[in-house]
Amino acid sequence: MTAQFQPHPAFQRFMGWANPRARLLLVRAAQGTGRFWFANSWIGDGPGQVHDFSAKSHSDCSELEVLDQQLAEDPNLRAAVILSPGHTVWHLALHAPVQFAEQRDLLLSLDEIPLLLGGRAGSGTKAAGAIFRQCGGWLTAARKLAEDQQAVEPALQLLRDGLSMWLAHRDPHRELSEAAILSVFDEATVAAYYGRLTTTSHTVGDLVQCGLLQGDGDGGWLMPEMVRQLLLERVRLAGAERMEILEDAALEAAISEQGLIATAQVAIAQQRWASLSRIVVGKWDELYLLDPMQLTELASQIPSFVARNNAYLGLGVRLLDLLTHDKSGPQFPRIAPNYGNDNLAQSLRTETDRLFLNPDARAVTVGLLEMLYLRFNGMYAEAGEASLRLRDALHKASGAHEMKSSFLALIHAQAGNSLYLAGSEVEALQSYELSLAHARKTGNAYLLSDPSGKLAMLHGDMDATRKYLDEHEQHIGQVRWGQAMLERGAILARAYLASGSLDSGQMRRELGKLPRGPDSDEFWSVHAYLLAMEKISSGLTAAARKLVYRMRQQRAVASRAPLARRLLDDILATAALVDHTYLPDDLDRNGIDPALLALKHLSEGRPDAALAELDNRGPFTGLRRGGNLGQYARMAALSPEGATPELAESVRQAHADSGSLYEIAMLKMLPGWGSIDSLLEMGSESARRLGRITVSAESRTAVRPLLTQRERDVLSHLREGKSRKEIAEQTFRSENTIKTQIRSLYRKLEANNLKQMLDRARTLGL
């Protein structure tokens, strides 16, 4: 070999393992790899010749056989032949030692790229690495970039010229080219990918042999950026539907072998934003269970120009942020919502109506966003209605498509929350039970702890509450993220059980695990209800009423949720029953527990009204005292003068079977029934608890003064903070007349100042 001749940069590596006895080199490589240079490197300074058969038919081997004969006759002769991609000439090795040089042999390694740079400025390891990442070891493209690192387009064209012809022969059906969709290359991921696409088993070795992958210098595999770009151009010719299939297969393969978080992190590192978006949108439920904060972080990495292509991605990220407040919950809306004027709410309704005609997982996810948006923005009734539509769509979708149990459990749990807040306890119960049934199939502690805790909180039946608490406690200790959030339902359920026993000490211990006052958790009203019940159990009915009015003042929108309205009204009704005062005028009597209303009618001597109230009682009233309280009220309505021996025995049996001390306390409020506890077998502790809140109705009768209509009008204006002059102007009366009416109100309500008068009026339900 002459001093002026420099061998191909990859030739020395090739000769390190080549057969030293071979004199015939068959080169099968693409244009652009320096295949003629490589062939001449084989001839060197000795006798020999390079033959170009690259354009010949792959079935035409006659000249090769002549050359084979010449080599046999001249032991010093060497030859190199450039084959076409389709040539198969293994039979020549039967006559003489033959060396094959394939595509992978001619592609430069990372260590060989600096040979092209020589001593140029910027020719260090960093520049070589940049060239290698762009075009790999394709000689002509790498040489162009070595001359000018900005010459990306010319280099790409050189690579296109060689790769397109090469793949037309080596990959006519584009199967190997479809590897360009993958972000990670290892044997398991590649096998998993092709296993989802074809019955043909393609491997990393096939991709390397074809020159589509090269060693990255660190023990892994690299697909150069330009190679990937050109392969994607080729693959996209199959159309958008095929691309969708490939994207799904690549994502599932990577996740199955690398894991969900690792796959997302690779997508971020490679700036494969479409893949990251697919992960966040398509796998949000799995990411949520792994780590909701990680899901939020991944979603925030998606650039805005990509996020804009998905109409609801931004909304989903915002709602997810609200949903993942582990301890406090989302902030309450401050302004009363208007569903009809909310453009986003209307847009979501239009979209879900369309998607629910033929629902799939994406349709269900958009339905979830609609429901959460309505709920978090104070449209509780509309969120409840949306959750029923979502549940129907989910049933339809799960019948037509395979859906993960974890996905179904999450959706049903959130639907249950919306239905419970909307006051639809029966439907909420069904959703939570469906969620728990799907969760049991997964064994996931988070999914099991959430609905079991909510079911414990929701049930008015004490035995059912204890059953769900037991299941909740089996799993809550295994929950990583969200334990405080999931424990809340169980804490409230245990406090509820203690309230049935009038055990204010146990109630305080349970509620002490939560913030001192209700925070922004969505079920704050249950917390407020139990705090008030603890006060009533301790004989502090005024404090219970004060808590309710403070909550309604501070949470004007949130307190209008049907659940909140009903629970807070139940407290006011209970306090009125215990104190023998009148029900406030602004109570929603359609929402109050019918048993409480019936007892209140009885305490005021109206047994017929009590029976009418009980006859309208619904089949289920969550977080209420089940059937015994209504049963006792019916007994008292039928015997308003007091308990007969037969009725006393019925009460004793019911109390022994499934009764609570709270129910007996409420029954004792009624005229003639004040001594019912003496007919039951009660211990001293139960008697002490009853004594804290009950006083015989005969010994306590609140006097509710009779106000004229004009006095009631003035009282209403005073509640709104208006002055005497403002009231006079708005009622078209003189200030002296208003002054006289205010004095009359002070006298009738036994008050010394305006605050006392307003407090007294509220206590008496005026």
> How many Cα atoms sit within 13 Å of 158 on the Cβ side?
20
pLDDT of residue 698: 41
Most confident of the following: 316-330, 523-537, 668-682, 719-733: 523-537
How is residue 269 written in tokens?
């590192």
What local confidence, expressed as pLDDT, does residue 656 receive?
85
What pLDDT, on the 0 to 100 scale, is given for residue 699?
42
* Burial profile 270-299: b = 16 or more Cβ within 10 angstroms, e = fewer: eebbebbbbbbbbbbbbbbbbbbebbbebb
C-alpha separations of 704 from 575, 618, 710, 766 in Å: 15, 31, 17, 8
93-102, 118-127, 467-476, 480-489 — which is least confidently predicted? 118-127
pLDDT at 179: 95
Helices (H), 356-479: 361-376, 380-400, 405-421, 425-442, 445-458, 462-475
**Residue in the structure block whose two tokens are 């805790």:** 453
Contact 263, 251 (CB under 8 A): yes
636: tokens are 């008292």
Contact 106, 7 (CB under 8 A): no
pLDDT of residue 694: 65
- Provide the CA 24 distance to its chain's centre, in angstroms: 64
Residues 501 and 661 sit within 8 Å (Cβ to Cβ) = yes
The single-letter code of the amino acid at 497 is L
Q: Is 563 exposed, middle or buried (0-12, 13-18, 19+ CB in 10 A)?
A: buried
Q: What is the DSSP string of 32-86?
A: TS-HHHHHHHHHTTSSEEEEE-TTS-TT--HHHHHHHHHHHH-TT-EEEEE--TT
- pLDDT at residue 27, as a whole number: 92
SS3 432: helix
Q: Which has the minimum average pLDDT: 76-85, 113-122, 565-574?
A: 113-122
Q: Considering the chain, what percentage of its residues have pLDDT values greater than 90?
A: 50
Measure the CA–CA gap between 14 and 643, rounded to whole angstroms: 106
Q: Name, in order, each residue with C-beta under 8 angstroms of 634's C-beta and a sequence gap of 6 or more.
A: 598, 611, 614
pLDDT band at residue 424 under the 50/70/90 scheme: very high
Q: Which pLDDT belongs to residue 57?
A: 62
Tell me, what's the pLDDT at 724? 84
pLDDT band at 585 (very low <50, low <70, confident <90, very high): confident
Short-list 474, 430, 411, 415, CA closest to 448: 474
- 686 band by pLDDT with thresholds 50, 70 and 90: confident
Worst-scoring range by mean pLDDT, 161-175, 218-232, 315-329, 734-748? Answer: 315-329
pLDDT tens-digit series, residues 386-405? 999 999 999 999 988 889 99
Confidence of residue 627 (pLDDT cuts 50, 70, 90): low
Report the amino acid identity of residue 575.
Answer: A
Q: From CA 497, how far away is CA 662, in angstroms rounded?
A: 10
Please enumerate in sequence order all residues whose Cβ is within 8 A of that of 500, keeping only pairs 6 or more positions apart, or say none: 462, 625, 660, 661, 662, 663
The first and second tokens of residue 651, run together, are 């009460």
Q: Which two tokens stand for residue 753?
A: 């100042």
Residue 505: partners with Cβ closer than 8 Å, 6 or more residues away = none
Does position 190 have pLDDT exceeding 90, yes or no? yes
Q: What torsion, rounded to 10 degrees, do the Cα atoms 415, 416, 420, 425 define? A: 120
Structure token digits, residue 474? 């089996």
**How many CB atoms within 10 Å of residue 766?**
22
What mean pLDDT value characterizes the chain?
87
Q: Are 544 and 536 a contacting pair, CB within 8 Å?
A: yes
* 361 DSSP assignment: H
pLDDT of residue 94: 52
CA-to-CA separations, 735 to 618, 725, 727, in angstroms, rounded: 50, 6, 8
pLDDT of residue 113: 93
Q: Which of 82-86, 199-203, 623-627, 690-694 has the highest mean pLDDT?
A: 199-203
Q: Where are the domains of the chain?
A: 11-106, 120-321, 332-536, 593-699, 709-763
In the Cβ-directed half-sphere of 468, how many Cα atoms lie within 13 Å? 30
Q: Is 643 exposed, middle or buried (0-12, 13-18, 19+ CB in 10 A)?
A: buried
Q: Which residue has the higher pLDDT, 205 or 692?
A: 205
How far is C-alpha 732 from the chain's CA centre?
A: 58
Residues 141, 715: Cα–Cα separation, whole Å: 90
On whether the CB atoms of residues 270 and 294 are closer than 8 A, the answer is no
* CATH (one of 3.40.640.10, 1.25.40.10, 1.10.1670.40, 1.10.10.60) for 332-536: 1.25.40.10
Sign of CA dihedral 74, 78, 83, 89: positive
Q: Are strands 24-28 and 98-102 parallel, antiparallel or unpaired?
A: parallel
Answer whether residue 700 shows pLDDT above 50.
Answer: no
Please tell me the pTM assigned to this model. Answer: 0.77
Compute the distance between CA of residue 407 and CA of residue 362 in angstroms, rounded to an integer: 11
Helix, strand, coil % over all residues of the chain, rounded to 5? 65, 5, 35
Q: Does pLDDT of 3 surpass 60? A: no
Whether 93 shows a pLDDT value over 70: the answer reads no
- Give the end-to-end CA distance of the chain in Å, rounded to a whole number: 113
Pairing of the two strands 48-52 and 78-82: parallel
Per-residue pLDDT band at 696 (split at 50, 70, 90): very low
Mean of the pLDDT values across residues 58-82?
77
In the chain, the amino acid numbered 110 is: L
The pLDDT confidence band at residue 327, using thresholds 50, 70 and 90, is low
* Predicted local confidence at residue 703, as pLDDT: 57
Q: Quickly list DSSP for 329-351.
A: -PPPPSS---GGG-HHHHHHHHH
CATH topology of 332-536 equal to that of 709-763? Answer: no
Its CATH architecture, for the domain 709-763, is: Orthogonal Bundle (1.10)
Please compute the mean of the pLDDT values over residues 426-439 and round it to a whole number: 96
Angle between helices 292-300 and 273-282 (to 10 degrees): 150
Confidence tier at 92 by pLDDT (50, 70, 90): low
Q: Specify the DSSP class assigned to residue 16.
A: T
C-alpha dist (Å) from residue 231 to 32, 153, 154, 173, 178:
16, 16, 17, 12, 7
Q: Name which residue leads in pLDDT, 762 or 510.
A: 510
Q: Is 215 helix (H, G, I), strand (E, B) or coil?
A: strand
Alpha-carbon distance of 339 to 382, in angstroms, equals 8
Confidence at residue 334, expressed as pLDDT on a 0 to 100 scale:
76
Mean pLDDT of 55-60: 62
In whole angstroms, what is the distance from residue 475 CA to residue 452 CA? 10
Question: Bigger pLDDT: 409 or 678?
Answer: 409
83, pLDDT greater than 90? no
Residue 15 token pair: 């000769």
Nearest by Cα to 280 from 246, 253, 303, 256: 303
Residues in the chain: 766
Taking residues 589-596, report their average pLDDT. 85
Task: Choose between 348 and 278: higher pLDDT.
Answer: 348
From CA 27, how far away is CA 17, in angstroms rounded? 16
Residue of 132, 144, 320 lying closest to 226 (CA atoms): 132
